[in-house]
Chains A and B, each alone.
Chain A
């Protein structure tokens, strides 16, 4: 019984985190880019592209990794800047996806509660290879995929026991 209750609590916590993440992502895309972005039922395996990682520390610790394809990264950069960028290696793309991840995590943690909102965010670390930079001691994380226009991306979110 205890195990069932604990599992139920964990599921409820995960669902709540997903709901807040969905809302945070919808807010960022709508407010900053005028686009609709919705969660997908299935978790997608992202094609080779870019990775952005941000850690949060304080009373609430963990991290978030955003995985997106080159075309999704380019589309978000163009939408943020309101202009087209033809060069897929333009450093502005790295900058833009870093800010995208920063805004998503910031919005998400502010929705969770005052302790979480007070957590400090690290500077986003962007890589053009898919790799995880998360602390191995952290609990199992949550992964969710999203779609905007005809592009998709995935987010891996992990919260540590403090």
Chain B
């Protein structure tokens, strides 16, 4: 099995007067695992349905492996799909569910008529081959013992595997998945996630995966196309998406803890939040008002006596969660509502004992994990560094 690349050019889709996809350009490389990530209503499922051929785009084109498939029927596209509800045929056993697609592929309408196999040896031969192919895929997926059950007699995870099997047995060059894990409980989800990743690596099929779960996307993908409002906002590796978000909405969407947003002013490349100097420098950024987005892990609580440049905020709420402690501070003084950060339990205890984390806390902002956006949400190309580090030498000397 070999994957094929998908080239999506200028895709626009309207439903009546509603514009769902604005103008999508996306190149899914051969054999890669690409995730369409975004909140519900962003158009990711619509895009997947266009790739599958259930809908025809208003304008634009889709090529699979260099062949224009924009107006081809789904069955002519060499694709397979796993649906959110799995869409197994409820009246057929798992075996029938997997063999029917092959019958449709390999037998003509007349050859599929009931009783045709009794007349023709050729049909019997083809049916035998189909059975062998189904067995082979089942072995791969560990489904052999479930083959004679109907979907209603299978658990959620088993149904999901049968659905994957049904898709796989057709030897597609592109594998589409529409939130295939969302109906499963957390533990099973993690397990099947790993299985999917393995499957993709083993088969080399091009995977296009739709999800709204950024954690899932991060864990599985070679690349993520983050969608919002009918557009691809950013397409890149999980690392790029996380570390170099090109739009504030990307920074907001990824990460398991909500990113902190602070309105800032840049003067002489230095960042200020209200009256406070933040100890961050944006080299080459023109003066003006910006938005600083900083991840919870980039806020580091420090002893109050520390003379490093830091932010002092009143603590509003402390929440324990196993190994980490989440702290919520009021951001009123710096023009935002809340500032959230997290500390390992041991460090939290130390700070508490030293009287450094009581009614207030001092936070040092690390440049790594902080991003400056224009007020319109675009990423500032300027490199952000800690003033503390650039001035480190002088700091030491002055002591």
Partners in one complex: no
- Residues of chain A touching chain B, judged by Cβ–Cβ distance below 8 Å, are none
- Residues of chain B touching chain A, judged by Cβ–Cβ distance below 8 Å, are none
